[in-house]
A and B are shown apart, each in its own frame.
Chain A
Amino acid sequence: MKILFKFITVILLFVTAELQAQYFFFGRNKVQYEDFDWKVLCTEHFNIYYYGEMETIAEIGAAYAEEIYSELAEKLNHVVTRKIPLIFYNTSIHFQQTNITPGFIPEGVGGFFEFLKGRVVIPSTGSLSDFRHVIRHELVHVFMTNKVFRILRDHRQPTDILPPLWFVEGLAEYLSTEVDAQAEMVMRDAVINNYFVGLKDIFKIYGSFLMYKEGQSFLEFVEEKYGAEKIPLILENFWMYKNFNEVLEHTLGKSIDEIDNEWSYYLKRKYFPLLSDKVPQEIGAKKLTDWGFNFSPVYLQRKDSSFIFFSANRDGYSSLYKLALDKNYNPLDEPELVLRGEKTDEFESFHLFQSSIDVSKNGILTFVTKSGATDVIHFLDVNSYQLIKTFQRDYLISISSPKFSDDGDKIVFQAVDQKGFSDIYYYDLSIDTLIRLTNDYYDDRDPCFGISNKIIFSSDRTSGEYSGKYNLFSVSLNDKEIRYVTLANANFSNPVISNDKTKLFFTSDIDGVRNIWMQKISDGKYENKIYQISNFFTSAFDPRFINDSIIVFSGFQNFSFHLYRKNLNLNQIDSLNTLTFESQKPKGKWLASSLHYESEFQKLKYEKEYALDYAQSVVATDPVFGTRGGAILTLSDLLGDDQYYILLYNTAEVQSDFLKSFNVAITRINLSKRVNFGYGIFHFNGRRYDIRESNEFFYEKSYGGTFLLSYPLTKFERIEAATTLADTEREIVEGISERKAFLLSNSISIVHDNSLWSTSGPVDGSRWLVLLGYTTDIKFSNVNYFSVIADYRYYLRFGLRTALATRIGIFYNEGKDARRYFMGGSWDLRGWPRWSIRGEKMWLTSLEFRFPLIDQLNIKFPFLDLGFWGFRAATFFDAGSAWDKEYKTTYGSVGVGFRFNIFGVLVLRYDIGKKIENDFRQFQPGLFYQFFFGWDF
């Protein structure tokens, strides 16, 4: 929304000061729920920006950053001499409100490095190891870009190029983390299931998670085969060649084909032997779903039926589903949608990758969604599909994985508070009482009810030899005493206890990826031995009991997440792999890094410092209009909250007009609070074309100011208001006809948008806008009219990629010297000349069936292979009309169109059809053909 907000402002200043109802926009809102009180922690190499109560996390982050700086300086033989701005948020939810990048930040983005001003933005997720990993990852970007810049500049070469993204991200992962279960899972899956791509084809997975991990894997291969010293040398040699593959060839001393073959062989040799003793999930278990990304199954037994509830993204939205099972626990039918997410503020997001769901024995489903400023826990009656309760606390920002007690009256869950601490909470639904069970910077997660009035949870609080590993712990509800349940050099997650309380199941990455393991419970104690229940070569998550001998779980395979059912065969327990823990548990705690001396840092209140975001100027000469020039500048503060837009150009056609032909607009937009506001002044002078008469123009001089407000009600709705005051002077026929006006324009609008987009435009959801405006000449009474705009668009989805799109719009100006609307062309009334149909009143309707045409088109030249993806098509019907005083005629068109998205930034459109003419009484003879660009409505 803020992008649009800025865009609206710029547009308003580009055109005359009258109410421009022609320009209206949709779009979702980046709601600024928090009023952050920013502070700065200045260390030797960093300025660290933080807020509120997250001082401890900021100090830990500062210590990490300084340590990492030192390591990278040594490894890469490079220093960054400027202070690096690090901006910390206490949760992903707050991070998503940042104005440092104007776009929306998807869930799962761990942080980003912004190249223009070199800012690094990172949320704490409650896990210090993740926090450290992301700081390191982003600082590798800082060092790498700075080093590449320096190398190119040293050699006096253009500095605006970087290595390809796979290398940039691969290097950041390679230098920031060891191969963990996640990386191992993805690479095993890609190699064994044959979707791994080599260096020559790596563009095919551009921007994907797989690309990150393949880049990391490649550099690990280089280290192992050629030596770690080659990796900084790749950067040192970057100046030598324009083609990055040649840089690799030079540094490694082999052709790219040879390197590619070696890497492929290295991976196959590493992963193919796994198949000798590990199984794919489809063979080791029964697959229950066949489509989409499916997570967190929970089983519910009713009198004569049984179900699995789960969260999933099966159609572009994260939602809750129900799968009915037969008596053999096989699916009876396709999963049924229980609750749709991402369409309303109440269920804005389900956090599929982070949070699990649970169901009580009496049929209450509990799950977490983001709702407004924080996460909330919902309780849904699965019989009536009614929400019976919602739990929310302002100070618990991010919540995940609620689990019921046996009686269904209590839950335990994990939450991240305003300090950025991830801890375990216990909530009694019957008496509405919340108890915090842990309170420290260790990452406590995945709680469940255990035995003897204790809660089992996973935590990185392991000390001693395996310090920092995620083992399982218990915390007593009586005295909050914390004890080890497992102790190994591995990570343990998703604990769940069997109905008979004799077994604890969980996942662990002991053998490289997450498999399901079991620990016996006897006499109220957890044994020191665990048994491997599954032996898959990719990871399993969230095991849950159907009964004591069958479990369901979610698993990753073939780059997809599915639900699986597995028989336990516990009577063959002696044949299972086992691991025995040490009986002696380590004492004490590990301590996070910190800045040791007061002299190492300084704490300050944040003061706005503005720096240039963008500057572009041009001087052009043409034989008709002579020489003219202009510039656009944008400035913003470090946090991107306060932004200035400056437009300056000159349209003088003769030298004597130079001074009076300056066009200037200065606008300030403030996005720091929920209410976004903007104001600005402008002076425009020059030739304008009058859309009343197509071939005429007039001179207009106008100056004045504008004020804008935007209030997002939710992510999907907002109210906007604008006021503009402008003194205008028009010379319609030189020296003869003129119009003076001192215009006051006011408008208010409400906008809704929850549409889901495909490659060429929306395919689901709806968008609508209602605007009321009034424009009057308060000095000369030459202009006086009101405006009403109502625009409604609805997208009915038939399949994953097919939809029926409808639009109806009414645009109405009434009064003296009212502005005209216009239509015609590829964007609205197709077949008719662009913007040729004009009037103070206008209506328009469109009906369009959108469908995929060609998924992939490959052309193989002798010297080059070219691939094109995502061709779409539509059949359409348009109708509309525009008039001033009296209704004239109705225009229409029907036809078929083809759409092609180029790199996600531009859609090319080609329409063929017939115009409907003469008040809808006849089709045009022949066909029209129209080529243009732009997204579908």
Chain B
Amino acid sequence: MKVAIFRWKAIVPLLLFLAALVGAWLLFADRLGRLALERGGTAALGARVAVRSFHFSFGGGSVTVRGLVAGSPFDSMQNLLEADELTADLDLLPLLEKKVSIDRLAANGLRFGTARTTSGFVPSSGPSASAQIMANVKSWAAQPALQVPILQLATGKLSVDSLDPRKLQTVQAAESLAARADSSRRAWTAAFDSLDATTTADSAVAFARRLQGARPTDLALLRDARRMVDRIKQTRDRLAALERGVKAGGATLDQGLASLQIARRRDYDFARSLVRLPPIDATSIAWVLFGPEAVGKFQRALYYTQLGRTYMPPGLLPRAHDGPTRARRQGATVEFPRAHQPPGFLLRDAELSFFLGGDSAGPRRYAGRLQGLTSAPALYGRPTTLEVRAPTVTADGMFDHVHATSRDVMGATVRGIALPAIALPGLPLRVTPGRGDVSLGFALYGDSLRGRWTVSAPAATWQRDSGAAGGLAADLLWRVVSGIENLDLTAELGGTLSHPELHVRSNLDQAVSERLHSMIGAEVDAAESRLRVEVDRIADQQVAPLKAQAAQLTAEANARVQQGRKALDAAQQQVEQQIRRLTGGIRLP
């Protein structure tokens, strides 16, 4: 029995089934497109993406998306962006290869950082690329080099160390001078004793008495008289030399006493150093106050850059990503880019129209252009570029993943716009910069980082949360900053991904430091005065007796010199008088 291979009567039901399938697809294409966009966007961004309506026009080859809302991966109650309408002109043929090629995209009504009413975070359903990147970025920001210390401004009281007399230079110098004075006393006493001018004078007087009974012919006695006169003169010369030594020694002691004043001034400085101020490091204040905000800015920039590197990788090697969500296992979907073929996704040119700011005049509209956004930069051959030019807004971005080493650079400057408030970490304070200028630059070359965030706000206002204590540091800081209107802030990032360096400075640094110093200045003055009196008391105990000792020593030495000189003069006069009597005034040879 021959069995037929085909079941011809099933053709009609099969065609009907296929027609129903196509009809259902056409009927639900918009809904399926919306779901695909929401699921794909959510998975790629790592935050909830919602679309109000999605329309795919086969005839026009266009897609219109309205009410696109993309949550922020960093703030559950904030949106990364909202778009009123996105209109994309599609190439239809690449769709047969499951490739999306958009010639032109018009994005209207873009808004950034708008508030949400529900959380934009999505529960993690396993290891995804965005979750992995977020974990890596959080790990990067948790490095010690980017951790901000807890604010400790003048929270400790003024401390004064005890004054140790042994460490005072005045005391040490006085002890040294006293030793030198004793030494001088001993030396001079020994010199006077060895000179013995009184004995010489007494001998001369006794010799003069012998001459009273002598005759002029006693020539030997006359020679002895001459020798006695010479001896008296020699003794006087030695006494004069000793007198010069005493004067020099006295001058040295006077110099030593004068140097005690210098030592005392040093002791005053030493005593001042014992007054320990509370720790106030001006350079760390900006780091403590604005460091977390700066790290947050750079962390976001790094996240989106890494996201771009993940979905826009360089090279043409096969690359795997998570498969579609379904009841069965997701698996991995592997892309196989091929040279000279269109990439899986390409957005050639996008015109962006967006709103910024929200002051009394309402948000202002700006325009920009995004070009060359693709999933395979090596196939497209050119970097992705972003450009916004307006009188008050300038933004540029260049994401070059064409070559093996990716280079990502972006920067934006906005002038005269209402800047969002900045909360100070760990303190019940926040600053609202008001209208001002802000700029953010970020570059990632390979793993080398460069970043700069600046804020310039001439009319900043400070708010303190009511009911929050905050402690002494908050009180001090509030008293200081509440009077400062101008805010200039600069944060600079450098280094590499594994070894980042962050420097933050602001005009608050010096202001806070000076204000805190002035607030504790009176207390410092009182402490320094007390220490000065103590230094004087200890020094005077040593110096006053030393001065008296030096004066007494010099006076005694001078008195002995005068006394010796007087005795010698009298003795010489008597001897010479007897010689003249014996010789009758004739000068003998």
A binds B: no
A residues with CB within 8 A of B:
none
B residues with CB within 8 A of A:
none
